[in-house]
Amino acid sequence: LIYSWTLDPATDIHICNNPAEFQWKALAAVNDIVLAGGSETRIEAWGEVTIPLSTPEGNRVTTLKHVALIPSFFTSLVSLSRLSSSNVHFDSGRNCLYRSGQDIAKLTRLGGHWLV
């Protein structure tokens, strides 16, 4: 899971743990933190990340914007809340993301996680 992108219904921001994937836009403010597992973790920067998607038409990429860089996170997270605000939704029965009734990405189930 360490360099995977995991769909997360609990977070309200996208989080990247791999600086090599991260496209810097701005340093984070000193008080930019994430609460996870009962502890605070500082966000290092804000930026964008281009991630691969398995789509019905084949492999594609998409760019996530306003992504927090936190190299100490165990995995990178795609915020379901942020996707929903863009009218992208998740179907756990079909393991996919969809918009307006059309599948846009197939997810892989690994244990209790859905990988993008």
The pLDDT tens digits of the residues spanning 94-105 come to: 999 999 999 999
Give the model's pLDDT for residue 66: 97
| Total domains in the fold of the chain | 1
Mean pLDDT, the chain, as a whole number? 96
Domain holding 15, by residue range, is: 5-115
The pLDDT tens digits of the residues spanning 19-53 come to: 999 999 999 999 999 998 899 999 999 999 999 99
58 contact partners, CB below 8 Å, separation of at least 6 = none
| CATH number of the CATH domain containing 42 | 2.40.70
Measured distance CA(64)–CA(50) in Å, rounded? 6
Give the model's pLDDT for residue 37: 85
How many CA atoms lie less than 13 Å away from 2 in the CB half-sphere?
A: 3
Angle at 62 between CA 20 and CA 60, to 5 degrees: 105
Measured distance CA(62)–CA(49) in Å, rounded? 8
